[in-house]
Structure formats: structure tokens, C-alpha cells
Chains A and B, each alone.
Chain A
């Protein structure tokens, strides 16, 4: 389970890997946190509660998009950086073609934005998104639309 940040002219990409789909999704989420903050503090050292979220979608790509979009939403409304991400994924098979086939339950610990240097990730994109299965495991690649700014807590209003 790992990720790395990749260059993109205006934006930032995360390349992640893991043994399972759930692991690689959580790795991308950790990559999102790293793209937001270059030096994520240990959540045990700050007031960071774990919170849960769930999304469902029609495909793996849509599920990843919705999961990351949900984390960005939670970041803004909770004013925390979601870190230490955990996820589980189930594929449900029904006869209903309208039903969402993929379900994700996830949790993260929220590090208060007030204690970190944060760059603003605007949104997840589908651009160049890839989810692959290789002999070494699962891989995913996601480009994030970024506004880059690092704010030191001491400089906040």
C-alpha cells in the first residue's frame, strides 16, 4: 500500500498501489492528503477524530471519483484534512441495471486545518484516471485540480 505524487503542469497527480481495490483507493486518499500537505502530522499528536463516509457508484472509476470528491467535501465542511484513510469495497450483483454496483465504506482521521500548512485541492478529475490490475497488485492514477498555497498556522487570521 503506497502512493507517490507526480508532476502535472498546473495540477498534481497521485499514483498509488495496493494489494486490493480497497487498499489502492485508500492509498489514493492518503495521496490526496499528501498533495494537500507536504508534512502531514501524526494524527495522534493533534485533536483528530475518526469519521466515516459511504459512497456507491456504477463503476470502479466512478466510485473512486465519488470517494475522493466526498473527502474534499468533508475537508471543507469539517475544516479538517482527512488522513490515515481506510476503505472497504463490495461489488453487489443485482438484476437492476439502474442499481449501483459498487459500494465503499471508508473512514479517516481529521487533522484540523488550523495546525497544518495546507495547499488547496479544488477537485478530483477523470483526466487520465486509471485503475489497473497487474501481476504485482492494483494500481490507480488520479489527477487533482489544485490551487497551490501553503499557509503556516502562525500566519492565519
Chain B
């Protein structure tokens, strides 16, 4: 049997791209890393494997705890981690969701082609940079009151529709139609609402960005047609989350769980795995609060979409409807959801935790929007600034292998400090302009920290996803201009 040793952990090769850490000692289940050997070397280079092993100790983990091909070390639970945990006898863990609840991506189609945009890249990037609030202290599209925040928390994108920021079609093309029914604004603290009220409709920072992209390759014409994508089309990708509100929700519940369920916490190897037992009042309350933060994040991305449409109207002197700026799909990659999955031949309700992992349901699954149910759920995989991004569809084998999940991006492979030592922002920016990619940079350090070379090879991540049958490439996109984010 082929094995791979790293960080004192021995993995066994189950089959191509599937590496298993057998259950032993305190582990509650086996763990699996889905990676090529090249990606595995990067994954094994930090504490990802130890964190994945720790995650199996969460009560109620079913089958295996999983690490997607773009995984890397997080805090408590690895980024790229997936765990399906029994919703009756297990637990729910805010740390296995992450601080940025419903960090996710959406893609907006246009009927523009690359030829329509050529020559206008600088004007477009300046207009978008002016239109979209971003960064720390940069405000939001709405700087509002707690009452409005509570309505957003309860109703999600439906609130945005009523307020004139979204259309019915936007709702139809968003995961869960942009609204978690169980969301409860009363489960969200006043501190979280205070942080959120001036940040609604803001990009945030770091690896969060808005990018205008051109479709460079179509791999599955029938599916691309259903998604409304053709080669040379212009699309807009928006990557951000629930801002300070979501961060505060996670912080609040980690502490409340620590105070309320110390016995469970004592059994776990890492405090950042803090979990509330399934069925407890706190588990239910966190689930309602998380649902509210999920709604907030969807509205956040919707308001950015609204401003993006206005920016395109300005640059192209055409109504956004006439530019065909429809939402293709919006999907979270930091989330826990109650989903029904087959466990040993029986349907069982699980809290499926995806932290830096994307739901990737195949054709036929009822949660997939009507428009895409026959071809499979769109999965949007943002890459780094220089490497482009992918649109996949949920693979046929995703439910069996990964609770219907795949990767969420290229995955970081170099620390931010190291990146700034190795790269000069202006050099990176010049290199990108040489590739006709226009980046509006707040500073050189920003670009250096997010330089293409600090990320794993997104092509390899997608290749592994396809080989495993958990996500099939539909189209590839390449950046035209980028605001960071």
C-alpha cells in the first residue's frame, strides 16, 4: 500500500487522489485528504493534517472528515475542511464554519464580449473602484440603522428585492433563494448588529475582490449553455462575506459555547473547535444566528451587485438590463447547513460544515435551482489574480464522496509576511498588466500579499476535482480587471 508521511501522520492511498488517515487513538472517524501528490505536499507543509485529525473528534462525525484539494491550515478546523455531523446526536461548531459566515462568491453574466470591453478596462476599473465600498472603515452601500439590519437578517435578499436592490430573478439564482428560513435576528447580538450597520454592501479586504472576467474556455457546451456562458463573454465575479457582523456572531458563540458546554470543550483537542451539542438550546440558537448572518452576506453581495450594475451602466451608457447583467449563481463556502445524506443506506439529517469548501450538488438534487436542476449546481471557484477562475457543476459522485462538496478556490500556500518579502506589489502589478489584467491597487503591499504565486495551482485543484467526479469544469475565466478586496 502506498503511504505518505507528514507531521507524524501516516496517510494511506485509497485510490488516485484519495488519501486516508485511519481512525486511531482519540479520532472519532477516519479523515481523508483529496489531493494529487503535488497538492498533498503543500497541504502537508503546515498544520492542516493535524487540524483535520482533530476535527474527527467532534461528536457525530459521519463517514470521514474531509480536506478538499485546496486545503490549508486554519484555526481549529482547516480551511478546505468538510464534516457531515449527525444533527440529532452530534454537534454544530462555529469554528468549523469560520468567522466569515457565508463568505462566498457570485457570478453575474453580461451580454458583453471581451471586444466590447477592450480599451475601456481602465475606465471600468476606476468606475468600479469608485462605486464599491471596500476595506477597513470604508463604509458600505448602505450605512443604516439596527432596524434595517434586523430586517436584512430575517429576510435576506427578499429584503433587497423589496428595497429595489434585487430582482425576482436574482432570488431564483441564489443558493436557497437568498434567504435562510430559520434566520432569527434576535439570536444575533447587539454588538454584531452595531458592527454590521455601516458595512452593508462592502467588499471587505484581503482575498476578497470584485473581478471583471472574460470566458476563455468552455469545456461542457450543454452545461455552459444552461448557465448562459459562451467563450469571450464578460462576467463579473464577486467574492466577500458577512463582514464584521458575521465575525462577531462567531466570536460571540465560541465564547457562549465555552461557558455553557465546558465538558464537551474539554474533550476536544482545540478550543477553536468549540461545539454545541445537537439538540441543545445553544446549538439551535447558533444555527438561527448563523442563518441570519448568511442572509446578511447575501444582501451584502447583492448590494455590491447593484452598484456594479450602475457602474457598467455608466461606462457603457446602457441600462444594466440591456447589458444582460443577470445573476448566474451565488454560493457560500463558509457555512453549516442541515442536509439529508445517505449514511450506510439510510437518509440522515446532518449539519454539513463547509469551511472553505463549496456545495457542489449534482443534477436532480431538489436544492439546485430550477434553471440548473437538469445539469447540476453551478460551483464558482475563484483563482488568484493571474491564474483565472473556473465555473464547475456539481459532480455525480460528490454526494457519495464529499457530502456534495468541492474546493472553494486556489487555496493559500504562502504566508502574507513571506509574500511581502518575496514580491513587490508594483512588479506584480506590472506583470499582470503585461497579461492585460488591470488591478486597482490600494497599495503595493496589498498586491504583494495576494500575488498569484502565493496560491496553489487552481488548474490542479480543478483537475483533481474533476478526476474525483465531485466537480466538473464547465468554463474557465480570466481576469480583465480587478479591484481588491
A binds B: yes
Q: Which A residues are within 8 Å of any B CB, using their own CB?
A: 5, 7-12, 36, 38, 58, 61-62, 65-66, 69, 72-73, 75-77, 79, 113-114, 117-120, 122-129, 143, 145-152, 155-157
Cβ–Cβ contact B74 & A10, under 8 A: yes
Minimum CB distance partner of A66 in chain B:
B255
Given A118-B136, A146-B416: A62 and B75 interface contact (C-beta under 8 Å): no
Cβ–Cβ contact B137 & A114, under 8 A: yes
Taking CB atoms, residues of chain A closer than 8 Å to B413 are 9
Measured in the bound complex, the distance between the Cα atoms of B442 and A124 in whole Å is: 25
Cβ–Cβ contact B75 & A11, under 8 A: yes
Taking CB atoms, residues of chain B closer than 8 Å to A128 are 75
Report how many A-B pairs have Cβ atoms within 8 Å: 144
Measured in the bound complex, the distance between the Cα atoms of B71 and A22 in whole Å is: 37
Taking CB atoms, residues of chain B closer than 8 Å to A11 are 75
Measured in the bound complex, the distance between the Cα atoms of B413 and A112 in whole Å is: 33
Interchain residue pairs with CB less than 8 A apart (22): A7-B417, A9-B412, A9-B413, A10-B412, A10-B416, A72-B247, A73-B248, A76-B194, A76-B244, A79-B137, A113-B137, A125-B76, A125-B272, A126-B76, A126-B270, A126-B274, A127-B271, A143-B75, A148-B450, A149-B135, A149-B204, A151-B205
Taking CB atoms, residues of chain A closer than 8 Å to B272 are 125-127
Taking CB atoms, residues of chain A closer than 8 Å to B73 are 8-10
Taking CB atoms, residues of chain A closer than 8 Å to B195 are 73, 76-77
Given A12-B417, A148-B416, A149-B484: A127 and B137 interface contact (C-beta under 8 Å): no
B134 within 8 A of A: yes
Measured in the bound complex, the distance between the Cα atoms of B415 and A12 in whole Å is: 8
Measured in the bound complex, the distance between the Cα atoms of B204 and A65 in whole Å is: 23
Q: Mark B170-205, 1 if CB is under 8 A from A, else 0.
A: 000000000000000000000100110011000011
Cβ–Cβ contact B194 & A77, under 8 A: yes
A-B CB proximity, top 10 nearest? A149-B205, A113-B137, A147-B206, A127-B75, A126-B271, A151-B135, A125-B75, A148-B206, A118-B136, A150-B443
Cβ–Cβ contact B415 & A149, under 8 A: no
Cβ–Cβ contact A149 & B136, under 8 A: yes
Residues of B373-403 at the interface with A, using a CB-CB cut-off of 8 Å, are none
Cβ–Cβ contact B254 & A119, under 8 A: no
Cβ–Cβ contact A149 & B446, under 8 A: yes
Measured in the bound complex, the distance between the Cα atoms of B443 and A156 in whole Å is: 11
Picked from B135, B199, B255, B484, the residue with its CB within 8 Å of the CB of A118 is: B135
Report the minimum CB–CB distance from B358 to chain A (whole Å).
17
Of A69, A73, A125, A148, most B-chain CB atoms within 10 Å: A148
Cβ–Cβ contact B191 & A73, under 8 A: yes
Cβ–Cβ contact A149 & B76, under 8 A: no
Q: How large is the interface on B (under 10, 10 to 19, 20 to 34, 35 or more residues)?
A: 35 or more
Measured in the bound complex, the distance between the Cα atoms of B247 and A7 in whole Å is: 22
Report the minimum CB–CB distance from B456 to chain A (whole Å).
11
Given A62-B255, A126-B76: A145 and B412 interface contact (C-beta under 8 Å): no
Cβ–Cβ contact B100 & A151, under 8 A: no
Picked from A120, A122, A124, the residue with its CB within 8 Å of the CB of B135 is: A120
Report the minimum CB–CB distance from B191 to chain A (whole Å).
6
Taking CB atoms, residues of chain A closer than 8 Å to B135 are 118, 120, 149, 151, 156
Picked from A12, A62, A150, the residue with its CB within 8 Å of the CB of B442 is: A150
Taking CB atoms, residues of chain B closer than 8 Å to A126 are 75-76, 254, 270-272, 274
Picked from A124, A125, A157, the residue with its CB within 8 Å of the CB of B139 is: A157
B72 within 8 A of A: yes
Taking CB atoms, residues of chain B closer than 8 Å to A72 are 247
Taking CB atoms, residues of chain B closer than 8 Å to A76 are 194-195, 198-199, 244
B82 within 8 A of A: no
Taking CB atoms, residues of chain A closer than 8 Å to B250 are 123
Measured in the bound complex, the distance between the Cα atoms of B104 and A93 in whole Å is: 46
Minimum CB distance partner of B74 in chain A:
A10
Cβ–Cβ contact A127 & B76, under 8 A: yes
Measured in the bound complex, the distance between the Cα atoms of B254 and A117 in whole Å is: 30
Taking CB atoms, residues of chain B closer than 8 Å to A38 are 445
Taking CB atoms, residues of chain A closer than 8 Å to B415 are 7-10
Measured in the bound complex, the distance between the Cα atoms of B6 and A141 in whole Å is: 25
Cβ–Cβ contact A147 & B207, under 8 A: yes
Cβ–Cβ contact B270 & A127, under 8 A: yes
B259 within 8 A of A: yes
Picked from A9, A12, A122, the residue with its CB within 8 Å of the CB of B100 is: A122
B138 within 8 A of A: yes
Report the minimum CB–CB distance from A24 to chain B (whole Å).
19
Known: A128-B75, A147-B205, A148-B205; 15 extra A-B contacts, CB below 8 A, are: A69-B251, A72-B247, A76-B244, A120-B206, A122-B247, A127-B271, A143-B75, A145-B99, A147-B208, A148-B449, A149-B135, A149-B204, A149-B484, A151-B443, A155-B442
